[in-house]
A and B are shown apart, each in its own frame.
Chain A
């Protein structure tokens, strides 16, 4: 595969400013980068809520494309060991995704067919706009073992080490593959996962899934930087969709990285991070601000006036979240975040089961999430959060055209 991302800006590469905040809640200001609003290659239609985001491209949509408001993320176990059958599923999924992201119903639709047979499409998204639905597929480490592809497993797709404070629930972790559905309308995102799961019956089974709301990071300039459930602004310096250099450096797998089939892909780390919001809410404002290393109102780094002012890390407490998560504290390690808030009822002890569903894309998991998360071992924020779910996936390059399909570069020998 010779095509590289960034060389052919798709209609998805949109307006954006700098913003490459790091992990949870971090918001290192990015003065210079913040001005790189281009707008030259803006697709006005895609920027508008409700519009369709192009499905085809050298990279998958749903990574550097503008972050939507809602998420339905699903991790699947593959129940077949027949590689050809799995490839057919990927082709069927691609076709369904192509239709759904364009706002069309799956197959022959939700009505008007044979009265005695169930319709192809489940129907709950009828009449709704495409809502900028993006569907992004990734392959977990276990898939390579299950389908006897161990020799094609990328080195960068490491099994995550155990991090201090992890309390991982196996029922909310791992998976052979994943689908990230993002949309401005939650019904559209849920519909997409539901229909893919239906198509996959007999071949894949949902292992766990997560609904998310209120994006906590942005890949485009927003009027307001989104806040997480702790009330802090998040993702001020996240990588923008137009920052081709930073995307190339930190997000997309390049030709020299190997393996070939991953060129134009990325690696996804998904973490379910529970927040102990009740104790957080009893914490003084000063302590909250010290923990993050920024103020709550404006979001300015300690000692600065504006959210996007360059942070002076040494002014922050040694265990401040922004300080520990900042690239300067991590040999420049930078990741692209797409996190969402979640609340899943209560935990049986009268506490809100809430937190952040953290999604990070990077060119190499070892240089991205692992490096940063290790550095966060002494994070003052750890007293208020706990990582309870974890998964890592190799996200293959994009579906180039109508004849292409998810995972072709990995499975083309079977095609």
Chain B
């Protein structure tokens, strides 16, 4: 694939770049009132003084006239955040600034800091047009929804696991361990984007930084499979896992997601497989690596399928290759489970070296073309 990548300043990259220069209540350098949009927020309304502004620096002058704490956002069409201000108390004023390029945006007030907010359109004119293929916006929105679904579905499975740990039921805890990780593994790049959650829930003994306490799934994995006992410490850790994953569930919706981050996220999931699962390092006590492996592939495939319509237009050969390699890897993985509707996979310590190599080759065969997906959607 030799993408037409010389036109570096594509809409997507431009949009991505500009989020980096957004700020919050920085010094008010919007000297003339033309650059200021006043936002009057109440419990039921979100009134904006302008519906249209020229590209460049913009400042929101927010006043909360409602009774609830609110927050105000400037959003891209796919709900990504351009700039935001949280915790605006009743009766208070706040300012938000942002650098915006031409395009369609929305301003959202969220009374009570919940839900999708009360929206007002904002059209930014002039300058270069930050326009993106609407299909990509749709893909991003759908992926965001997927990530949320995975988090939502994970928590009950985690609850089952935690309950078993707290009951001191070793076998039940072992049985519930791998399933509780599937949703996380499917959307790992999103979870990792928050930075602080992953080290708490998915860190392995060798990944600990100096002074860091080992918490999370793998700490419990070691207790269950290696130490073969559940003590008070594990029960506390199980509760902590619930707390940390609830935090994840709440924040998934705010993850910054772009078509290229989706594409690269898919590749990163395969990299996870290549570095951690294929070697058996990830689940060194439970040997449930193939469950994570499958979940990583599924998550990558979801991203890919959502981006496929655009990739198909820009690089049909790449799509053909990816379809083929996803199918090949999935077929290979199915050799390791008796029932394709189940996630009961062969324990990885029972997978012979030659078979591990075959899995590794299949991962590389998929990951290499997958690394070209970002270019194919950014054309």
Give the interface of A toward B (CB within 8 A). 79, 107-108, 113-118, 120, 198, 201-203, 205
Q: B305 within 8 Å of A by Cβ?
A: no
Decide if A201 touches B378 in the complex (CB within 8 Å): no
Q: Which of B319-359 contact A (CB under 8 A)?
A: 321, 325
| Contacting pair A201 B368 (CB below 8 A) | yes
B316 to chain A, nearest CB (A): 15
Contact at B2–A107, with CB atoms within 8 Å? yes
Query: How far does the Cβ of A387 sit from chain B's closest Cβ, in whole Å?
Result: 25
Cα distance A146–B368 in the bound complex, in angstroms: 24
Any chain A CB within 8 A of the CB of B13?
A: yes
- Contact B2 A117, beta carbon cutoff 8 Å: no
The answer on a CB contact under 8 Å between B364 and A117 is no
Instruction: Find the A residue at minimum CB distance from B259.
Output: A116
Q: Restricting to B5-19, which residues have a CB under 8 Å from any CB of A?
A: 5-6, 8, 10, 12-13, 16
For residue A117, which residues in chain B have a CB less than 8 angstroms away from its CB?
A: 3, 5, 371-372, 374-375, 378
User: Is B2's CB under 8 angstroms from A120's CB?
Assistant: yes
| Given A107-B2, A116-B13, A120-B2: A79 and B365 interface contact (C-beta under 8 Å) | yes
- Whether A202 and B374, one on each chain, are in contact in the complex, defined by CB atoms closer than 8 angstroms, is no
CB distance from A253 to the nearest CB of B (A): 33
Q: Are A202 and B371 neighbours in the complex by a CB distance under 8 Å?
A: no
* B361 interface residue per 8 A CB criterion: yes
Cβ contact within 8 Å between B366 and A202: yes
| Interchain Cβ contacts under 8 Å between A and B, 20 examples | A108-B5, A108-B6, A113-B6, A113-B375, A114-B5, A114-B8, A114-B13, A114-B375, A116-B13, A116-B378, A117-B3, A117-B371, A117-B374, A120-B2, A201-B365, A201-B367, A201-B368, A201-B369, A202-B325, A202-B368
B260 within 8 A of A: yes
User: Is the CB–CB distance between A115 and B372 below 8 Å?
Assistant: no
Roughly how many angstroms separate A205 CA and B357 CA in the complex, as a whole number?
10
The 9 closest A-B pairs by CB, nearest first: A202-B365, A117-B375, A201-B368, A114-B5, A116-B260, A116-B374, A113-B5, A117-B374, A118-B371
The one of B2, B10, B364 that contacts A202, using a Cβ cutoff of 8 Å: B364
Q: Is B286 an interface residue (CB 8 A)?
A: no
Tell me how far the C-beta of B374 lies from the nearest C-beta in chain A, rounded to whole angstroms.
4
A198: contacting residue among B2, B263, B368, CB under 8 A: B368
How far in angstroms is the closest Cβ of chain A from B257?
A: 13
Q: Is the CB of A114 within 8 A of B374?
A: yes
Q: Are A201 and B364 in contact (CB under 8 A)?
A: yes
B64 within 8 A of A: no
A117 to B374, CA, bound (A): 6
Q: Which residues of B contact A79 (CB under 8 A)?
A: 361, 365
Q: Are B374 and A108 in contact (CB under 8 A)?
A: no
Nearest chain-A residue to B360 (Cβ)?
A205
| Chain B residues positioned under 8 Å from A205 (CB to CB) | 361, 364
Q: Which residues of B contact A115 (CB under 8 A)?
A: 8, 13
A114: chain B residues at CB < 8 Å are 3, 5, 8, 10, 13, 374-375, 378
Residues of A within 8 A of B371 (CB): 117-118
Min C-beta distance of A96 to chain B, whole Å: 12
Min distance, Cβ A346 to any Cβ of chain B, angstroms = 23
Is B48 part of the contact surface with A, judged by Cβ < 8 Å? Answer: no
Q: Which residues of A contact B215 (CB under 8 A)?
A: none
A113 to B8, CA, bound (A): 7
Q: Does B264 contact A (CB under 8 A)?
A: yes
- Smallest CB separation, A120 vs chain B (Å): 7
A116 / chain B contacts, CB cutoff of 8 Å: 12-13, 16, 260, 263-264, 374-375, 378
Compute how far the CA of A25 lies from the CA of B375 in the bound complex, rounded to whole angstroms: 52
A interface footprint on B1-36 (CB within 8 Å = 1, 0 otherwise): 011011010101100100000000000000000000
Residues of A within 8 A of B2 (CB): 107-108, 120
In whole angstroms, what is the CA distance A114 to B373 when docked? Answer: 12
**1/0 contact trace for B155-184 toward A, CB 8 Å?**
000000000000000000000000000000
**Identity of the chain A residue whose Cβ is nearest the Cβ of B369 in the assembled complex:** A202
Complex Cα spacing A116 to B371, Å: 10
* Residue in A107, A113, A114, A118 with the greatest tally of chain B CB atoms within 10 Å: A114
Q: Bound state CA distance, A249 and B366, in angstroms?
A: 46
Q: For the complex, give the distance between the alpha carbons of A97 and B372 in Å.
A: 21
Q: Which of B259-306 contact A (CB under 8 A)?
A: 260, 263-264
With a cutoff of 8 Å between Cβ atoms, the chain A residues found around residue B5 in the complex are 108, 113-114, 117
Bound CA–CA A251/B92 (angstroms): 89
> Interface centre among B2, B12, B365, by most A CB within 10 Å?
B365
B residues 225-255 near A (Cβ < 8 Å) are none
**Chain A residues whose C-beta falls within 8 Å of the C-beta of B263 in the assembled complex:** 116
- Which residues in A have their C-beta under 8 angstroms from that of B369? 201-202
B-side contacts of A107, CB under 8 Å: 2
Contacts of B378 in A (CB 8 A): 114, 116-117
Chain A nearest Cβ from B299, distance in angstroms: 19
Q: Which chain B residue has the least Cβ–Cβ distance from A107? A: B2
Cα–Cα, bound, A205→B361 (Å): 7
Q: How far is the CA of A113 from the CA of B365 in the complex (A)?
A: 23
Q: How far is the CA of A114 from the CA of B371 in the complex (A)?
A: 12
In the complex, A8 Cα to B367 Cα: how many Å? Answer: 44
Q: How far is the CB of B20 from chain A (nearest CB, A)?
A: 12
- Taking CB atoms, residues of chain A closer than 8 Å to B12 are 116
Q: Please, how many angstroms separate the alpha-carbon atoms of A202 and B361 in the complex?
A: 7
Per the bound structure, the CA–CA distance linking A266 and B378 in Å amounts to 46
Contacts of A198 in B (CB 8 A): 368
How far apart sit A79 and B332, CA to CA, in the bound complex (Å)? Answer: 14
Task: Give B302 Cβ to nearest chain A Cβ, in Å.
Answer: 19
**Residues of chain A within 8 A of B6, CB atoms compared:** 108, 113
Bound Cα distance A108, B8 (Å): 13
